[in-house]
């Protein structure tokens, strides 16, 4: 899988563009000023860079070295502070009580990893922290379920 994403992100341009996800832009005000946020499965960094530009302390994490390098290059161009981590979600340790916000935009997880990783997300949030994402499912799930 890592090879797939490295190849995809090696192509000219940006696989998902450079503009942050609409849902993320709508939800940004929910984060406290200066919040410490991690964007998991972040690809080439479009969402993390948007958050960094809003003044948040942002870490972008993805398994693709190519994607994270593109994110770092854009951060330097835009004079933004961005921490990047290259690691697979299966082995990544989010820590405990560490993040004010955890964001996952199109961070598709295999069923074998999904439940355990979502538990890790809850454990990694500080009290009052929030997590949200934009995920795909075969079944419509209303936000109130």
**Separation of alpha carbons 129 and 137, rounded Å:** 25
| pTM score | 0.88
Q: Residue 57's pLDDT is what?
A: 98
pLDDT tens by residue, 16-63: 889 999 989 999 999 999 999 999 999 999 999 999 999 999 999 999
What DSSP assignment string belongs to 125-141? EEEEEEEEEE---SS--
What is the C-alpha separation between 130 and 70, in angstroms, rounded?
27
Look at residue 104 in the predicted model and tell me its pLDDT: 92
Give me 89's structure tokens. 């979600």
13's CB contacts (< 8 A; 6+ apart) are none
| pLDDT value for 135 | 65
Q: Which of 22, 59, 19 is nearest to 42 (CA)?
A: 59
């Amino acid at each position: 899988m890592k090879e797939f994403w490295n190849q995809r992100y090696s192509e000219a341009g940006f696989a998902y563009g450079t503009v942050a996800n609409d849902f993320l832009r709508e939800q940004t005000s929910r984060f406290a000023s200066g919040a410490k946020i991690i964007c998991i499965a972040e690809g080439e960094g479009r969402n993390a860079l948007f958050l960094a530009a809003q003044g948040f302390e942002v870490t972008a994490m993805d398994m693709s070295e190519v994607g994270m390098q593109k994110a770092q290059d854009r951060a330097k161009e835009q004079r933004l502070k961005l921490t990047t981590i290259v690691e697979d979600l299966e082995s990544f340790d989010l820590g405990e009580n560490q993040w004010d916000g955890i964001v996952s935009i199109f961070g598709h997880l295999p069923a074998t990893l999904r439940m355990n990783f979502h538990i890790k997300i809850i454990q990694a949030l500080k009290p009052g922290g929030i997590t949200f994402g934009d995920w795909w499912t075969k079944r419509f799930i209303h936000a109130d379920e």
